[in-house]
Amino acid sequence: MVSALTLEARPGAVIRVMARSGSVTVTGEDRSDVAVTGARHAKVADDGSIEVKARSGSVSVQCPEGSDVIIGANSGRVELRGRLGDARVTVGSGSVVVDHVERLDARTGSGSFDIGECAGECRLKTGSGGIDVTRAGESDLATGSGSVNLVLVDSAKVKAGSGKVEIGLAGAGDLDVKAMSGSVTVSVPRGAHPAARLKTLSGDVRCDCAAGHEGEIKVKTLSGNIRVVER
Amino acid sequence: MTETPAGAVVFTDIVGFTEFTAHHGDDEALALLDRQEKVVRATLPDDARVVKELGDGLLLWFPEAVGALGACLALSERFEEEAATDVPLWVRVGMHWGCPTRRGDDLVGHDVNLAARIVDVAGPGEVLVSEPVREQVHGRVQGLRLDELGPVVMKGIPDAVPLYRAALV
């Protein structure tokens, strides 16, 4: 067990963390080295990346702001704190919490996502668990069961099994939502004129916007109401 | 028990099938399974076989990697087309290359277990493949894009496994 260790990182070094169980926290902060606590093994790999392995318990990594991060964990919560670069996270079961990343590709077999800001592409997959995103660019999201709440996105593709879906479009981006059951609410900027194609097999459809061609909103759900509202 | 020659072990799984059945009943769930079977039978090459059905999933075997990946990507595309109709058929696919052991008509062993774990990691519509698959198909499939997910830690598998998301561009 490496109780605490500081490694010199070359600029742009990727942080790779593999953990069998327990929580993983990676924090991007104003520093040039990498501090690791709670790991079984930590080293600078041949390619310059920082390699951290943990078996159980909590592992914490503090790294330079903007670092790219790759995390693989079997079970446990993963937190990306501060400002980080591109992040790829895979968790067998456990939730993922993110403050700010440039791009994100994260998946968990069961567990929720709580994402603050993803500046660019945001890809999230969970077998069961809710998805909450405050701000993201182009998004591709899927949950087998659980609610989806995207406060503001540029564009999105969403697949939702069961659960409420709420999405705020930042502008005239495209939206494609397919849901099995659960209501879908889309909010667009006031005065927007999207092309809306809304279909539910059992439920009501209401679109408050005037029809136009400023982005396409496609929503299909097997059961549940669909609403497109201005904000 | 007999070790088979090397080949591709593929698991498919319908995402959200339990929830779908709970909300829409057994009849619609059976119709969904029929639809899946029809798509799979129409897409599989002649030398591939459905080893067994696993509730809402399938275990498939292919003797050749490029054909296997091509079939999996075609399956994914067909499922997406089906999902564009009234019934959502969101299927995920996990693929591994190895030498499983034959037990009657069944396949067993570490390579089968690993393929089963890979599909658990995949999201709806995704085809995920292991490093041995990547090595088999490298440079042999035009327009293939493999995005690295990074080493993935899986329950019951001792070492982290590099996985890739396969897509045609």
Q: C-alpha angle with apex A190: A187 to A196, nearest 5 degrees?
A: 55
More confident residue, A161 or A13: A13
A93 with A128, same domain: the answer is: no
Residues B43-63 have a mean pLDDT of 93
A145 with A217, same domain: the answer is: yes
Residues A140-146 have a mean pLDDT of 90
Given pLDDT bands bounded at 50, 70 and 90, which one contains residue B87? low
The domain total for chain B is: 1
A127 with A223, same domain: the answer is: yes
Q: What is the pLDDT of residues B107-142, one digit of tens each?
A: 999 999 999 999 989 988 899 999 999 999 999 998
Provide the domain limits for residue A38. Answer: 1-111
Predicted local confidence at residue A2, as pLDDT: 62
The CATH number of residue B54's host domain is 3.30.70.1230
Given pLDDT bands bounded at 50, 70 and 90, which one contains residue A33? very high
Residues A71-97 have a mean pLDDT of 95
Backbone phi, psi, residue B36, to 5°: -60, -45
A100 with A156, same domain: the answer is: no
Backbone phi, psi, residue B19, to 5°: -65, -40
Residue of A nearest to B23 (CA): A181
Distance CA A99, CA B74 (A): 37
Q: Which of B15, B86, B153 sits opposite A201 (nearest CB)?
A: B86
Residue A196 pLDDT more than 80? yes
Distance CA A65, CA A152 (A): 24
Q: What is the pLDDT of residues A171-182, one digit of tens each?
A: 999 999 998 888
Q: Which of B20, B88, B153 sits opposite A74 (nearest CB)?
A: B153
A158 with A201, same domain: the answer is: yes
Distance CA A63, CA A83 (A): 10
A164 with A128, same domain: the answer is: yes
A193 with A140, same domain: the answer is: yes
CA distance B13 to chain A (A): 11
Residues B44-54 have a mean pLDDT of 93
Place of tokens 């080293």: A43
The one-letter code for the residue type at B86 is: D
A106 with A202, same domain: the answer is: no
Which of A81, A111, A141 is at the close of a domain?
A111
CA distance A8 to chain B (A): 22
Predicted local confidence at residue A120, as pLDDT: 97
B-proximal residues of A, 183-202, CB under 8 Å: 201
Backbone phi, psi, residue B89, to 5°: -120, 85
In sequence order, the 6+-apart residues with CB closer than 8 A to the CB of B6 are B97, B98, B99
Mean pLDDT of all residues in chain A? 94
Q: Which of B15, B90, B151 sits opposite A18 (nearest CB)?
A: B151
| Mutation site, A71, A148, A180, A220, interface B, largest B CB count within 10 A | A180
Provide the domain limits for residue B146. Answer: 2-168
Which of A69, A91, A111 is at the close of a domain?
A111
A126 with A205, same domain: the answer is: yes
A131 with A231, same domain: the answer is: yes
**pTM, whole model, 2 decimals?**
0.90
Q: Which of A19, A88, A162 sits opposite B153 (nearest CB)?
A: A19
Residue A121 pLDDT more than 70? yes
Backbone phi, psi, residue B30, to 5°: -65, -40
* A20 lies within 8 A of chain B by CB: yes
Name the most confidently modeled range: B77-81, B82-86, B90-94.
B90-94
Please give the torsion angle defined by the CA atoms of residues A145, B169, B74 and B161, in that order, rounded to the nearest 10 degrees: -60
Predicted local confidence at residue A1, as pLDDT: 63
A91 with A141, same domain: the answer is: no
Which of A83, A111, A139 is at the close of a domain?
A111
The domain total for chain A is: 2
Q: pLDDT over 90 for what percent of chain A?
A: 83
Q: What share of chain A is helix, strand, coil (3-state, %, to 5)?
A: 0, 70, 30
Where are any strands of DSSP class E within B63-126? 91-98, 101-103, 106-108
Predicted local confidence at residue B19, as pLDDT: 74
**ipTM for the predicted complex:** 0.81
A5 with A83, same domain: the answer is: yes
Predicted local confidence at residue A41, as pLDDT: 92
CA distance A112 to chain B (A): 14
Residue A134 pLDDT more than 80? yes
Residue of B nearest to A73 (CA): B153
| Mutation site, B14, B17, B18, B19, interface A, largest A CB count within 10 A | B19
